[in-house]
Structure 1
Amino acid sequence: MTPKPARSVRSLQKGQHTRAVILEAALGLASHMGLEGLSIGALADVTKMSKSGVFAHFGSREELQIAVVMEYHAKFEEEVFFNAIREPRGLPRLRALYERWVRRVSLELDSGCIYISGAVEFDDRTGPVRDALVAMVRAWHAALHKAIVLAQKAGHLHADADVEQILFELHGLILSLHHDARFLRNPGALARAGLGFERAVQSYATPEGLAADARARQAAAKKRR
C-alpha cells in the first residue's frame, strides 16, 4: 500500500479536528436549544466559521442533528456505561449503572438531556433523526436489560422478577428526576431518585443480592477514603 503524503495526512487531521470542534459546539447548542434549535447558521456564528465551512463538514441540518445524537451517545457511554461495567456482575453493576445515570442527569440540569428533550421534539415525527434517537435509547435500554438479567442469573434478583418492569421503573425514576429537578427546581429530587432505587432493590433483590450490594458499597466507601 502506498503511504499517503504527509500533507494529505495533515490535511485529514486538520479536517477531523475542525469537525470535532464543530460537533462539540453543536452538542452545546443542542443541549440548551434542542436538536430543532440547531442550524448551520447558528453553528457558524458560535464557531466563528463561515456557513460554507460548516456545511463542508455536515452536508445538511439533518446530518448535523444525527451526528450530534451519535456524539451525545458516545459521551454517555463513556461516562455511564463503560465505568459501570467495571463493577462485578449482579446488583453492584446495576446500582453503578443507575447511580452514574443519575449523576449524568444531575450534571445536565442547567442544559438538558438530549435523550429526553429529543423524545419530546421527535415523538410524533418520522425520519432519520428520530430513528437515530430511538436507536441510541434502545441501545442504552438493552444494556440495562442485560445488567438486570445478569443480576437475576447471579441470584441477586428474584428469578421471577419482571425484567421489563424493573427497567420501566428505573427509567421512570430518571424521567421524574429530570422533570422535578430541571422544570420544577425541586431541591429534593436527587434524594428521591436515590430512595426510589433503594425501594426497587428491596422489592426485587434476594438476600444474597442485598449482601453482595452491601459488600460492594463498603468496598467503594473504603476506596473514597
Structure 2
Amino acid sequence: MPADGRLARGDATRRLVLRHAVDVASVDGLDGLSLGRLATELELSKSGVFALFGSKEDLQLATVEAALEIFRSYVVTPSLDVAPGLPRLRAICENWLDYSENRVFPGGCFFFNVGAEFDARPGRVHDAVAAASGSFAEFIRESCLEAVALGHVDTDPEILAFELHALGRAANADAVLNGGTRAYTLARRAIGARLS
C-alpha cells in the first residue's frame, strides 16, 4: 500500500506543477519554465520536481499537453454538446472568445503565445505546439464543412474556417497587448455577421 500512496502523491504533485507551469508559460513562454523555478514557486524540492519530468524539454511537452486538456475542457468539449452545424460553430467561437477573455491562462490564449515562441524553431516542442494548434484549427474546419453540408451556411468552408480562426486569434492578440474587452466585442460582431 505505501507504494500506491506515493504514486497518488506523485500524480497530485505532477498535476499541481503542470497547472502552475501552464500559467507561467502563458506569460513567460515555455522557455520561461524551469524545474528550479517551479519548485521554488510551489515550495517543492527541486529533486522531486526533476524526478517527475526529467528534463526541461519533457516539462515543456507535458505543459503543452496539460494546456491542451484545459483548452479542450473550456472550448471543444462544451461545443460537442451543441447541435451540429451553425449552432455548434457559434458555440465554438463563443467558447473560444470566453476562454481568452476570462483569462483561463493569465497570458491569454496559451497556444497563441507559445505558437509565436516556437513557430520557427524545429524540434519536439514545436511539433507538439503545432499539433495542438492544428487540432483546433481542424475542429473549426470540420465544423464549417458540417455547417455547409447541412445547408446552414452557403460559403466556402475552408475560407470560413480560416476567417473564424483569424478573428479569434486577433481578438486574443489585441486584448493581451492593449487590455480591455473591445477586441472581443469586435470579434463577436464580426463572427456574428459572418455566420448570419
One of 163, 168, 180 as aligned partner of 2:162:
168
Counterpart CA distance in 1 for 2:48 and 2:5 is: 18
One of 4, 18, 25 as aligned partner of 1:23:
18
SS at match of 1:111: coil
Equivalence for 1:211: none
One of 160, 166, 183 as aligned partner of 1:189:
183
Alpha-carbon distance, 1:114 to partner: 1.7
Equivalence for 1:219: none
Question: TM-score under structure 2 normalisation?
Answer: 0.94
Equivalence for 1:199: 193
C-alpha RMSD of the superposition: 1.4
In 2 relative to 1, CA 63–32 (structure 1 residues): closer, same or farther, beyond 3 Å? same
Equivalence for 2:134: 138
Counterpart CA distance in 2 for 1:195 and 1:114 is: 23
Please tell me the residue identity of whatever aligns with 1:182: V
Alpha-carbon distance, 1:194 to partner: 0.7
Equivalence for 1:209: none
Counterpart CA distance in 1 for 2:151 and 2:81 is: 19
- The Cα offsets for residues 75-107 of structure 1, whole Å up to 9 and x where unpaired, read as 111111111111111100100001000001102
Alpha-carbon distance, 1:186 to partner: 4.9
Please tell me the residue identity of whatever aligns with 2:25: A
Note if contact 1:180-1:186 (Cα within 8 Å) is conserved in structure 2. no
Equivalence for 1:123: 119
Equivalence for 1:92: 87
SS at match of 1:172: helix
Count of matched residue pairs? 195
- Percent of residue pairs bearing the same amino acid type: 34
- The Cα offsets for residues 128-172 of structure 1, whole Å up to 9 and x where unpaired, read as 0010000111111121111111111211022xx222211111111
Equivalence for 1:102: 97
Note if contact 2:26-2:114 (Cα within 8 Å) is conserved in structure 1. no
**Is there any run of 5+ residues in structure 1 with no aligned partner, and where?**
1-5, 203-225
**Is there any run of 5+ residues in structure 2 with no aligned partner, and where?**
none
Residue 41 (str. 1) matches residue 36 (str. 2) = yes
Please tell me the residue identity of whatever aligns with 1:157: V
Equivalence for 2:64: 69
Question: TM-score under structure 1 normalisation?
Answer: 0.82
- The Cα offsets for residues 13-38 of structure 1, whole Å up to 9 and x where unpaired, read as 11111111111121121122111100
